[in-house]
Chain A
């Protein structure tokens, strides 16, 4: 048999197929007939996708002169694609990304300030203040909210009832007592079969800084320059919670966000601090849950927020900029936000949506506490490094009992100061 001839025929066929296939999908990036095309990349996979797709479709239908060309991909692919694309000047016009990442790109001048959007129709006074704060860098608005939510306390009603607890804890004293009551049984490797609480400590939104803030501590102060991670309050809070974890085993150590959710979904953890995405998962797993504000600490009752923000590439000017501003205004309009809240479970980014507009009572709870939530380290240009190299590993070291909490916090604080000095 003549393998070579076969191969040649194969190759010819493949070339033809490839040529035919790409003939059909030629790029039509720019305007045709006065239409402005906005390329828009984001990572709204999973449960976020249907709501986002619907809003973009509606926008395209109601704005014949603008076409938003959206590509959804997993977040890690998104970030890996953004770097070479913007580096080669081929990045998208509009992106949506975690608010924490915006400053890093803004500082590299990849994005442009969006303050003009406010004069172009977006009513600043109607947007949740934290949602605006999360997108600010160097005094300017580089991000506008695609979503914004507080992190709240989920609790498993069935497990609470079994333990004879009537209501979710209101303050730390109750919380700690409840945690001890709810941690019990013998699971694999001598660990508890049921945990009082679970909280992801990497690859997720931060939970531990909420605890530090409850005691009056924190990670970096409101000025964005002063490290408070090794303040006496932070050390005190960390010591208290490390004891609860190491001695009373109220929380599994070192879980990722996804693993923490799984524990809550399987009914093996009684509480979790998380955002609204968990509601649909818990409903699917048939967990009877309740939602409450994070219990009040000795110094404050506060929680952190999580937000995805729109940004505009610095090359998008003129008509593209106008079109993008229109898109952002549309997205944050009252009608859009009511729709968004009712399909995705995220609270509206606006303050003028009442509980009566929201079909889901859980969304109303998130909306109620949205004004109380503060963004985590907004405007930090080295956020990625701070989180993955200092803060998360530091907390996990402490919770794994790798040293004295105070000493390890001091060490992490020192590293943060070095990073701050260089940014």
Chain B
């Protein structure tokens, strides 16, 4: 790339002209994100230093909400729940997605059907699927427990079982998102030039070697993206908890985002809710920095 300093037509440096052109490209997004995301984020950060119910002028409490939060046993429990959930669901969902994508990338009879079936959960709204899972998994009258009863298996007391509830919530989390990530992997796989594999085949590379030396490195952009997205999504787990367990039994499945919802919208403690959200933001940011650093060094450039 040419360096700046070269005078071009119109008196602007080439560099300035190129920047101007770039600003044209980012302008619509930057304006909308600035107004409808950046400002609300700043608003919530500010709110986290106030006691704010939305119905009365907020009172400044400094770090009061944050202090209260770390002294709150429910918050600590929810933090642990959130981390455990993310640590299990993220790799599981991404791993499954990659396996499905690799299976369904090749020519295969019924490929479209399998792809569509695996993607289906992502398409359906949780409001409806919550009802369906509830019927299917109901520990007393559900289809699945009744079937499993015949083979002598038990799924405990379903989502009402304090020892099992989190496993159910995790399962549904993986179920919902694996197909979504699979599609991203499929999109990524479709950019790998065929002749790489042809060359490898000539060299006599086996399937594992081909995956190890071609597919995996060339998918690193996709993997970075999918991992970051999956980690963020699982640290923000909310939807299936909202429809299936409401955080119960006794907070066993309550996550930080559920706590944000509960304290903000049910208890009218918006300052506190914002503080919880910002602890979460900090946490997610930390994790994605580590991820970015780890994957960033291994990024492939053509």
Contact = CB atoms under 8 A, between A and B. Distances in A.
**Direct chain A–B contact by Cβ atoms under 8 Å:** yes
Interface of A: 76, 79-80, 83-84, 86-87, 104-105, 108-110, 187-191, 195, 202-203, 252-256, 258-259, 262-263, 266, 268, 382, 384-385, 388-389, 392-394, 396-397, 400, 402
Interface of B: 53-56, 74, 134-135, 138-142, 145-146, 148-149, 154-157, 160-162, 242, 246, 248-251, 262, 264-268
B134 A188 contact: no
A88 to B, nearest CB: 9
Given A384-B266, A400-B249, A189 B145 contact: yes
Nearest 6 CB-CB pairs, A to B? A189-B154, A254-B160, A87-B54, A393-B250, A108-B55, A188-B145
A142 to B, nearest CB: 14
Given A258-B134, A259-B138, A188 B149 contact: yes
A382 B267 CA distance: 7
Contact of A202 (B55, B162, B248): B248
30 contacts: A80-B265, A83-B264, A83-B268, A84-B54, A86-B55, A108-B55, A108-B268, A188-B139, A188-B140, A188-B148, A189-B139, A189-B154, A189-B155, A191-B139, A195-B140, A203-B246, A252-B139, A252-B160, A253-B157, A253-B160, A254-B162, A254-B249, A259-B134, A259-B160, A268-B141, A384-B266, A384-B267, A389-B74, A393-B249, A402-B162
Contacts of A252: 139-140, 157, 160
B141 A396 contact: no
B21 to A, nearest CB: 15
Nearest to A87: B54
Given A188-B140, A397-B249, 8 more contacts: A83-B265, A87-B54, A108-B56, A188-B155, A256-B246, A259-B160, A388-B262, A400-B162
Contacts of B156: 189
A90 to B, nearest CB: 12
A263 B141 contact: yes
Contacts of B157: 189, 191, 252-254
Nearest to B55: A108
A131 B154 CA distance: 45
Contacts of A394: 250
B116 to A, nearest CB: 25
Contacts of B56: 108-109
A266 B146 CA distance: 14
A83 B155 contact: no
Contacts of A202: 246, 248-249
B154 A254 contact: no
A3 to B, nearest CB: 15
Contact of B140 (A76, A86, A191): A191
B202 to A, nearest CB: 35
Given A190-B154, A191-B139, A79 B265 contact: yes
A397 B266 CA distance: 22
Contacts of A105: 55
Most B CB atoms within 10 A — which of A86, A109, A191, A263? Answer: A191
A252 B249 CA distance: 13
A263 B140 CA distance: 8
B151 to A, nearest CB: 11
Contacts of A263: 140-141
A104 B141 contact: no
Contacts of B246: 202-203, 256, 388
A187 B248 contact: no
Contacts of B251: 393
Contacts of A400: 162, 249-250
Contacts of B265: 79-80, 83
B140 A187 contact: yes
A141 B53 CA distance: 23
A382 B268 CA distance: 10
Most A CB atoms within 10 A — which of B55, B154, B155? Answer: B55
Nearest to A74: B127
A109 B57 CA distance: 12
A369 to B, nearest CB: 29
A394 B140 CA distance: 23
Nearest to B155: A189
B83 to A, nearest CB: 21
Contacts of A389: 74
B163 to A, nearest CB: 9
B140 A254 contact: no
A185 B142 CA distance: 16
Contacts of B248: 202, 254, 392-393, 396
Contacts of A191: 139-140, 157
Most B CB atoms within 10 A — which of A105, A188, A202? Answer: A188
B224 to A, nearest CB: 26
Contacts of A266: 141
B110 to A, nearest CB: 31
Contacts of B249: 202, 254, 393, 396-397, 400
A188 B154 contact: yes
Contact of B54 (A83, A189, A254, A385): A83
